[in-house]
Structure 1
């Protein structure tokens, strides 16, 4: 893959994560090969750290730190060798930002997870944001903001093989065990789940097997994966995040929601983009159809993670989760 092809492929994901589209074009225009991706994005992140140190107010400093976290995270999307300091940089920048901007935010960590709990202490419910194969808690800040604006608490997490934990742990299919430990650590009775990309599988699986889940939504989540049909970059990333090609094959064999979907009793919203067509990936329509209380939102022009169509799904998803967790039926 050439550098400009990689930049084009990640365009809507990067801008959907909140980076300035003009700056993204400037940074990626200077790439001479895909090997420049990580170092260039890390340099951009460090420039925001410098701006934060020189800022004239704590608000400006916090905003620069949030942007640094985004760029550090995007640096981890390099298709080949990755700088492990990028994930650590994203984690540290987000920690500094929330310390400045939201003194009430609380870091919560446990066996196989770490993340930030944000929002009012008396929130009526808490939503856990579940990242995917190569995403992390720093990527979905706009989704967290939409839920926080509706009065909910939000726990954005990294699980095994994700984000800052990717260097020391590997992906595990039985993610419901991780979320169970998260719920215990948060000490809440009412939770919702939003899973993005592979996190959609994790969220749906957890909703089927963890009775404390009261609402769930998936965004670009797979219903089923077929190893032989998956593109080589996806297989390579899967192998890195699981530890080996053999472990990745075994992991993929678990990704099939046909038997679990009918067991999801919580209100479920499945969001897909019709332009999200990845070989070896069955999208979420069967999940919505088989779940007892499933609904399906398909955006014709949406791509993977629908970074090119935020207004078509994000407010709807935030409202769905809020109604399910706080409405009369809840």
Structure 2
């Protein structure tokens, strides 16, 4: 969440600022910027913005059906992928009522279903894998030399980071895109948990692997760094826009309110945030670690990744000065380099 979100007014002025603040995140995830601006234009409330994005998603679903009926399988799959991303982004609006929460849960379920239809058309070998605290899809060759788990953040989900997944698949890795507690398809029925390393451990168990790579986005970066410190099966890890430490009392109200919703209340949120501190865990990260930060990603109360790199024994730092949160405005400056780095780190480790 950026500084432009720091307002309690949920009317047109807030909605306009809210939509603008999410433009680079949307385009970084693959939403067409012109379509996004058209969808956001004129929204008088966050609910209007969310409904407009859902209508756009439904247009892509309709295009997918028509393409499939004409035998255009690839186009149908691409439209379903687009629909999944639009449905997901509709869940990012602030929840102001029970009806909003219901809308978000429906949109998250539709995002998951649309991505399932897309992969059935474009990547029939993709496998759905569910566990006690996670759900996701494994893609890539069964004999891939490495497997990477893509871990989303506070209000993101597996449908948002398809470009990260695609970049890793092109480099030969198998990729598991997941939702964990409080995320994506599980957001309506679960809450955040600080011991997310246990969830990633469940995923590694389900994949029957003894070594994996991790890439975590936003709060997912904390989850990944924590797992790298505590699970010896993590062979390499990348943290993108992840917090080293969070100070609850300094957070802007929209962000603390979002965390409270995802955690199940203000008390649970405070307890959760109190554990988001990698100071003691960073020295225990023995595997190669790459931390990517955007120079314009500045949020009160959030300490970015430079301190994590300083404390981690094998940490490397990539600072993109013009990058914002999740660096959707500077993707060529970090995504190829980061996925190259992960690929090298994992294949070099497996050869020794």
Range with bigger deviation, 77-86 or 111-120? 77-86
Query: What does residue range 41-80 of structure 1 map to in structure 2 within 5 Å?
Result: 41-55=53-67, 56=70, 57-80=72-95
Q: 2:188 aligns with which of 141, 161, 167?
A: 167
Q: CA deviation at 1:156?
A: 0.3
Q: CA deviation at 1:127?
A: 0.2
User: Structure 2 CA distance, aligned partners of 1:296 and 1:49?
Assistant: 40
**Which residue of structure 1 aligns with residue 204 of structure 2?**
183
Q: CA deviation at 1:37?
A: 1.6
Q: 1:281 aligns with which of 284, 302, 318?
A: 302
Deviations 1:186-220, CA, capped at 9 Å, x for gaps: 11222000000000000000000000000000000
User: Structure 1 CA distance, aligned partners of 2:318 and 2:64?
Assistant: 39
User: Structure 1 CA distance, aligned partners of 2:204 and 2:155?
Assistant: 23
Query: What does residue range 310-325 of structure 1 map to in structure 2 within 5 Å?
Result: 310-325=331-346
User: Structure 1 CA distance, aligned partners of 2:253 and 2:112?
Assistant: 28
Answer yes or no: is 1:4 the counterpart of 2:16.
Answer: yes
Q: 1:267 aligns with which of 270, 277, 288?
A: 288
Q: CA deviation at 1:38?
A: 1.5
Structure 2: give runs of 5+ residues left out of the alignment. Answer: 1-8
Answer yes or no: is 1:40 the counterpart of 2:55.
Answer: no
SS at match of 1:38: helix
Query: What does residue range 165-314 of structure 1 map to in structure 2 within 5 Å?
Result: 165-314=186-335
Q: CA deviation at 1:159?
A: 0.3
**Which residue of structure 2 aligns with residue 31 of structure 1?**
43
Q: 1:18 aligns with which of 23, 27, 30?
A: 30
User: Structure 2 CA distance, aligned partners of 1:257 and 1:32?
Assistant: 40
User: Structure 2 CA distance, aligned partners of 1:101 and 1:311?
Assistant: 25
Structure 1: give runs of 5+ residues left out of the alignment. Answer: none
How does the TM-score come out when normalised to structure 1?
Answer: 0.98
User: Structure 2 CA distance, aligned partners of 1:190 and 1:172?
Assistant: 23
User: Structure 2 CA distance, aligned partners of 1:134 and 1:165?
Assistant: 11
Deviations 1:144-190, CA, capped at 9 Å, x for gaps: 00000000000000001110001111110001111111001011222
RMSD of equivalent CA atoms: 0.9
Answer yes or no: is 1:122 the counterpart of 2:143.
Answer: yes
SS at match of 2:334: helix
Answer yes or no: is 1:136 the counterpart of 2:157.
Answer: yes
How does the TM-score come out when normalised to structure 2?
Answer: 0.92
Q: CA deviation at 1:35?
A: 2.1
Contact 2:39 2:49 in 1 (8 A): no
SS at match of 1:311: helix
Contact 2:136 2:158 in 1 (8 A): yes
User: Structure 1 CA distance, aligned partners of 2:241 and 2:158?
Assistant: 17
Contact 2:60 2:80 in 1 (8 A): yes
The structure 1 segments of at least 4 consecutive aligned residues displaced by more than 6 Å after TM superposition are: none
Deviations 1:250-273, CA, capped at 9 Å, x for gaps: 000000000000000010000000
Deviations 1:69-119, CA, capped at 9 Å, x for gaps: 000000000012341101001000011101111010000000100000000
